[in-house]
Amino acid sequence: MNDCMIECRGITKTYRKGDHDVTPLDALDLDVPQGDFLALMGPSGSGKTTLLNLISGIDSPTAGSLLVGGTDLTTLSRRDLTRWRATHVGYIFQLYHLVPVLTAFENVELPLLLQPMNKRERHARVHAALEWVGLRDRADHTPAELSGGQEQRVAIARAIITNPPLIVADEPTGDLDRESAGRILDLLRKLSREDRKTIIMVTHDARAAEAAQRTFHLEKGRLLENAI
């Protein structure tokens, strides 16, 4: 596939659980073009988060090949995977994972502290990211002083601050009311359509999945498109 961000071929993941082998993913193939917004659905234990972790380089497959942005993740060492993730992947989680003692500005700034840039450039990028999610006026607020929807928008600003080509979102609206969830989904759509970010979102919510360009359903390690 031309302009393909993610290419999975025969991806299998097996791990030991007690006396048994568990295989959440079994010979899975998947192509995701750059700028695609893909939703993954399926029952608990179907392999959704496992696939997300493989694509984002958090975990490695037992078998198969996995190319993201032209890089074969199965060939990278743990150290190289860590370096690759720092510049290629932004994470958005259901529970935000913000540092409670830091302000919104400081939480968004964290990933940039590992980048070779001066303070002026770093601060300009943080302000721009907070402006993009509509929270520049909340820069000095800690997570406890923000609503759940605002916390998630801070988390999105943090995820995009290094300008990664890939955004992975694990139940990003699962802890939000409908209005706040709608705002988050609007931001994800904007990232895909205007900035050509590739977005992989795990969700249990069919309404959230409707925001994506494509929806896949995982069942017993196999992938079916639009089977919801």
Round to the nearest angstrom and report the end-to-end CA distance of the chain: 25
CA distance 197 to 215: 17
Question: How deeply is 222 buried, as exposed, middle or buried, from its count of CB atoms within 10 A (0-12, 13-18, 19+)?
Answer: middle
Mean pLDDT, each 10-residue run in order, the chain (228 residues): 84 88 90 95 87 93 94 92 92 92 97 90 96 96 96 96 95 92 94 95 93 91 68
The residue extents of the domains of the chain are: 4-225
* CA distances (Å), origin 93, targets 14, 38, 97, 203, 204: 24, 16, 7, 11, 14
Q: What is the pTM of this model?
A: 0.90
Question: What homologous superfamily does CATH list for 4-225?
Answer: P-loop containing nucleotide triphosphate hydrolases (3.40.50.300)
